[in-house]
């Protein structure tokens, strides 16, 4: 029977169906959750339904209402001190966001190497994972769009508009766009250099809605892995089959 993986982020719900490989994956705005009924009709009897929750409880309730026969079967995954080969260094391990925890597990399961795991969406997280699978810590930044909207909202003369990255911006919109991108690149570079002091081989792993755009500007060794939290969720589902 299939496993259903749900990643309820700040802006969208990402979902995947695993049955000896990914059979389907997709994402939905929370205003379009009624279409989940069709998903439930196609996969009526999954063996497990795992959820990494960042969204509010009200949004999770809407997810459950959209697929009523799944309602009491959804397992909410929370961070722990150790799982699937990843050791969590957070002072209070359970306070690490479920999406970050699942992304780290997904990244480790795919690469088994020292990595800077970047999840770029509404917020951007930049997490350091060493070659032993130890999550050392990480950063949270406003996402690319959130940075630009915050400037437009909180300043008198910096309105929101389309801008492009350029080495020497000579328009306000380009200055804002370039600043938000360079802020992300700088944070990633610094995290990379810190981990490189401990590890010989380090790679940046990018995932999330803005990751393909961000990848255009990264000069460090990197790779793109879509839907890392879903990858982590399906590995958690098979935890007993994973070598620790």
Sign of CA dihedral 83, 85, 90, 91: positive
Token pair for 214? 């961000």
Sign of CA dihedral 43, 44, 47, 52: positive
For the chain, give the number of residues.
244
* Residue 135, phi-psi category: left (phi > 0), alpha (psi -120 to 50), beta (remainder): beta
Rg (CA), the chain: 19
99 catalytic? Reply is: yes
* Contact (CB, 8 A) for 50 and 77: yes
Angle at 99 between CA 82 and CA 186, to 5 degrees: 100
Q: E strands, 59-214, where? A: 74-77, 82-83, 86-88, 114-120, 123-129, 134-142, 202-207
Q: E strands, 19-122, where? A: 22-29, 48-53, 74-77, 82-83, 86-88, 114-120
- Among 7, 32, 99, 130, the one annotated catalytic: 99
What's the N-to-C CA distance of the chain in angstroms?
Answer: 25
* 107 phi/psi in degrees, rounded to 5: -65, -45
List active site positions.
99
């Amino acid at each position: 029977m299939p496993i259903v993986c749900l990643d309820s982020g700040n802006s969208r719900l990402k979902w995947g169906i695993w049955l000896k490989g990914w059979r389907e994956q997709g994402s939905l705005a929370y205003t379009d959750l009624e279409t989940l009924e069709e998903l439930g009709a196609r996969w009526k009897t999954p063996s497990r339904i795992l959820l990494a929750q960042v969204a509010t409880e009200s949004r999770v309730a809407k997810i459950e209402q959209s697929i009523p026969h799944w309602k009491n079967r959804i397992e909410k995954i929370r961070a722990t001190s150790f799982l699937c080969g990843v050791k969590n260094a957070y002072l209070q391990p359970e306070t690490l966001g479920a999406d970050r925890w699942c992304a780290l597990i997904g990244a480790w399961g795919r690469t088994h190497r020292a990595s800077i795991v970047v999840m770029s969406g509404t917020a951007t997280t930049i997490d350091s994972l060493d070659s032993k699978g130890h999550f050392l810590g990480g950063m949270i930044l406003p996402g690319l769009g959130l940075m630009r909207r915050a400037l437009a909202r909180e300043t008198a003369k910096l309105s929101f508009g389309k801008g492009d990255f350029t080495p020497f911006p000579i328009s306000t919109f380009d200055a804002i766009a370039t600043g938000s991108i360079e802020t992300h690149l700088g944070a990633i570079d610094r995290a990379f250099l810190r981990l490189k002091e401990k590890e010989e081989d380090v790679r940046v792993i990018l995932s999330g809605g803005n990751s393909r755009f961000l990848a255009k500007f990264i000069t460090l060794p990197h790779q793109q892995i879509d839907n890392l939290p879903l990858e982590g969720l399906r590995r958690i589902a098979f935890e007993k089959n994973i070598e620790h």
